[in-house]
Chain A
Amino acid sequence: MVHFASRAIGWVPATLTFVLLGACGGKPAEPTAEPSATPSEPTAAAPEPDKPLVVGFVYVGPKDDYGYNQAHAEGAAAVAKLPGVKVREEENVPETIAVQKTIESMVELDGAALVFPTSFGYFDPHLIKMAEKFPNVPFFHCGGLYQEGKHPKNAGSYFGYIDEAQYIAGIVAGLTSKTGKLGFIAAKPIPQVLRNINAFTLGARSANPKATTSVVFTGDWSLPIKEAEAANSLADQGVDVLTMHVDSPKVIVETAEKRGIFVSGYHANQSTLAPKGYLTGAEWNWPKIYTDYVGMVREAKSHPHLLRGGLKEGFVKLSPYGPAVGEDAKAKAEAAKAALTDGSLVIYKGPLEDNTGKVVIPEGTSRPQTDIELEKMDYLVEGVVGKIPS
């Protein structure tokens, strides 16, 4: 190894030449967009008529993952169909300085005038830094983290109440299950995930009071092997409907189909992976949201900093029902959908106990989706089998 190493000195001239050539080839120039001292209002530059509006999308994983990233990529595809718009996409960008550089590169080299960094972890500090650096470029982030007065004015955040769709999926699952045992494979015990687990369980128990949801936390967003193990072990325990909150549900959906049990999807439509067992799924409706945003920016209207919505606002939707879903389940699901849409049904209302018997929402209290308390959820409701690892 030692003499092996001593020859490496030859590398220095070779690569230095390559690199120096590179450094000299380009004209060193200051970044074009100088951050001005006083950030102006987010007036998205209205594109010149002959020049297309360049919209950048950044994904944390592969854009064909049948999950989180594919849902966003479907939104990007809808934006690409708009006239006079050019979409530039980059996948597998980690939540490190790499995403800052990707955004910078999109703005500097591609001329992006609007950027959607779609992963939750992109916001702080990466997106904030870039928004400060390019005050004329609007940035919209998926996650709902924007705080007025604290974050740059050209940044914005959106998120959907997808637990509404999970509630309806829970109704379908509770009525289709033969054993009454449902399974939920989740990444991390964070509020967003707990909210989905609880909504799914509450939905299932509203239709089938005996239903229980066994939950397995894998520990991270994309761990296909652990997800498959969890799916198999839940199936072994007699669970006959699986659902999940992980970045790519592909492995879980396929495992469920192979085991001959039902599955309810998440993020995107996975019905092609389980033509027999796919019941329905809680999906994002990003094509609508993204085309809306592009419309707002193009008309140079001011855009909201925080945009949230559920079924009513078109943020989320359900996959079409699979062949195993009965008429009764469909009717009950549609009724719940109508009630959630018109606001007559509130998912979280008292009295509500967690699975240790503690009252988490007292009698008479109702927590609609906008209630800030729901963002801090740290419990699993009655009917969930499992506990939050601490």
Chain B
Amino acid sequence: MTTTSIPAAQSPVTGRGPRFSRWPRAVSAGPRWEQVLVPALACALSLLLFGVFVALAGVNPLDVYREMYRGAFGTWFSFQNSLVRAAPLMLTALCTALPAHLGLIVIGGEGALVIGALGAAFAATLLGDASPFALLTAMALLGALSGAGWLGMVGALRSLRGVNETISSLLLNYVAISVFKQLVEGPLRDPASLNKPSTVPIGDANMLGNLPGMDVHYGLVYGLCACVLGFALMRRTVFGFSARMVGGNVRAALLSGISVHSRIVITCALAGAAGGLAGMIEVAAVHGSANASLIAGYGYAGILVAFLARQNPLAVIPIALLLGGINASGGLLQRSFELPDATVNVLQGILFVVILGSETLYGRWFKPAASPAPALPKIEPVLGEVA
């Protein structure tokens, strides 16, 4: 992990900048409004590029923007539609965002979701007659535990055997899907599900319902809570601090006596628990049983959300909502303009590239050169020697 280049006053002696920043981060990252301006510009540029794309497809971009807005946020129904689509993405995004604090790139959200769904359905099979509260609690616990075990395995492989976590988590996705299908079409199959192999339905009375006054299921609350807790854990606790230290500099962390192994395994397990919870919600709030329909790519979409949110668990919330909105409006684009379904994928792709590209813009325009320099005159010669 290298530090990003931070603009600083040039050394009068050597003619080049110091090797590391002299200013606290809050200052060196540029003015606060830059942090709003850059993403806003990136979004605007993405929309502009997307407009060119749809114009090439023979559709008026302004009409497309208006329709997308209507489909994503323009009516109460559309807004709820976006919320419902955002709910699973918040949880699966954490599968990538939490381990990222340790410098790990985990892309196993799909596997965690699928295994979590399996665990939740298994819990429901075991406790068929329990009260709804007990059943849902057991499903959530077993779902989260299964997901935690799944990605915890990735963390353990990484820290104990040095296996690349990106590759192992990706491959474990395929393993998870195969295990899921084997069990759902085999031992866990409800004999009554003839042409759509599924586990035994949990029953309408046991389903996770909708939020009061809304057409959005409780999964959204799970997602919001998980994101806030994830943020608090990483930014406001000693554990989070030590985990980020591992991500910043493993050697420094080891020298400070931090148990790097446990940080890696625990964080990956927590990430997996979020994914497993997403799977449980798919079973308990949407499908009512575990079947192949819930393997719908939420885990992979979560990777996109995590990176666009720049691995910040709190930023995951609005980004998930944005992507939920884009997906919600995708159908309207198809129906109104007869654009192919891939159109929204193009927009997502453009957003991804432009936003990651916009990383380089931070601190380019505002060099806090003149004013802070006199405040730290004494440090200058020392730094000069180091450099």
Partner of B1, one of A2, A8, A104, A143: A2
Cα-based distance from A165 to B362 in the complex (angstroms): 64
**Stretch of B76-84, B160-168, B367-375 lying at the A interface:** B76-84
Instruction: List the A side residues contacting B318 at CB < 8 Å.
Output: 11-12, 14-16, 19
Within 8 A of A (CB), among B1-52: 1, 3-4, 25, 29, 32, 34-36, 38-40, 43
Interface digits, B266-288 against A, CB 8 Å rule (1 contact, 0 not)? 00000000000000001000111
Cα-based distance from A102 to B328 in the complex (angstroms): 8
Interface digits, A85-125 against B, CB 8 Å rule (1 contact, 0 not)? 00011111111111001101110111000000000110011
Partner of B85, one of A1, A10, A101: A101
B238 contacts chain A at the CB level, 8 A cutoff = no
Q: Are B247 and A1 in touch, CB under 8 angstroms?
A: yes
Instruction: List the B side residues contacting A29 at CB < 8 Å.
Output: 75-76
A28 contacts chain B at the CB level, 8 A cutoff = yes
B100 contacts chain A at the CB level, 8 A cutoff = yes
Partner of A25, one of B74, B215, B288, B291: B74
B314 contacts chain A at the CB level, 8 A cutoff = yes
Q: Are B321 and A15 in touch, CB under 8 angstroms?
A: yes
Instruction: List the A side residues contacting B79 at CB < 8 Å.
Output: 22-23, 26, 28
Count class of interface residues, chain B: 35 or more
Instruction: List the A side residues contacting B73 at CB < 8 Å.
Output: 18-19, 21-23, 25-26
In chain B, what residue has the closest Cβ to A59? B341
Q: Count of A-B contacts with CB under 8 A?
A: 194
Instruction: List the A side residues contacting B292 at CB < 8 Å.
Output: 220
Partner of A7, one of B194, B244, B362: B362
* Known pairs A14-B36, A98-B85, A105-B81; A6 contacts B75 (CB<8 A): no
Q: Are B314 and A9 in touch, CB under 8 angstroms?
A: yes
A219 contacts chain B at the CB level, 8 A cutoff = yes
| Least distance between A76 CB and chain B CB atoms (Å) | 12
Q: Are A2 and B101 in touch, CB under 8 angstroms?
A: yes
Partner of A188, one of B32, B84, B185, B215: B185
A370 contacts chain B at the CB level, 8 A cutoff = no
Cα-based distance from A234 to B359 in the complex (angstroms): 51
Q: Are B310 and A96 in touch, CB under 8 angstroms?
A: no
A191 contacts chain B at the CB level, 8 A cutoff = yes
B223 contacts chain A at the CB level, 8 A cutoff = no
B255 contacts chain A at the CB level, 8 A cutoff = no
Cα-based distance from A18 to B40 in the complex (angstroms): 9
* Known pairs A4-B4, A11-B39; A105 contacts B101 (CB<8 A): no
In chain A, what residue has the closest Cβ to B3? A3
Q: Are B100 and A5 in touch, CB under 8 angstroms?
A: yes
B149 contacts chain A at the CB level, 8 A cutoff = no
A387 contacts chain B at the CB level, 8 A cutoff = no
A31 contacts chain B at the CB level, 8 A cutoff = yes
In chain B, what residue has the closest Cβ to A93? B331
Cα-based distance from A22 to B325 in the complex (angstroms): 10
Q: Are A143 and B195 in touch, CB under 8 angstroms?
A: yes
* Known pairs A19-B318, A97-B286, A98-B85; A121 contacts B341 (CB<8 A): no
B264 contacts chain A at the CB level, 8 A cutoff = no
A224 contacts chain B at the CB level, 8 A cutoff = no
Interface centre among A9, A94, A108 (most CB of B within 10 A): A9
Cα-based distance from A11 to B35 in the complex (angstroms): 7
* Known pairs A96-B293, A190-B194, A191-B194; A26 contacts B35 (CB<8 A): no
Q: Are B75 and A15 in touch, CB under 8 angstroms?
A: no
Q: Are A14 and B43 in touch, CB under 8 angstroms?
A: yes
Instruction: List the B side residues contacting A7 at CB < 8 Å.
Output: 29, 35, 310, 362
Q: Are A9 and B334 in touch, CB under 8 angstroms?
A: no
| Least distance between B28 CB and chain A CB atoms (Å) | 10
B312 contacts chain A at the CB level, 8 A cutoff = yes
Q: Are B43 and A18 in touch, CB under 8 angstroms?
A: yes
Instruction: List the A side residues contacting B286 at CB < 8 Å.
Output: 96-97, 125
Q: Are A9 and B194 in touch, CB under 8 angstroms?
A: no
Extra pairs beyond A97-B217, A125-B287 (13, CB < 8 Å) = A2-B1, A2-B101, A6-B25, A11-B310, A11-B312, A12-B317, A15-B319, A19-B325, A22-B74, A22-B78, A26-B79, A105-B77, A188-B197
B interface vs A, CB < 8 Å? 1, 3-4, 25, 29, 32, 34-36, 38-40, 43, 69-79, 81, 84-85, 97, 100-103, 181, 185-186, 194-197, 215, 217, 244, 247-248, 282, 286-288, 291-294, 296-297, 308-312, 314-315, 317-319, 321-322, 325, 327-328, 331-332, 334-335, 338, 340-341, 359, 362
A interface vs B, CB < 8 Å? 1-16, 18-19, 21-23, 25-31, 62, 88-98, 101-102, 104-106, 108-110, 120-121, 124-125, 143, 188, 190-192, 219-220, 375-376, 390
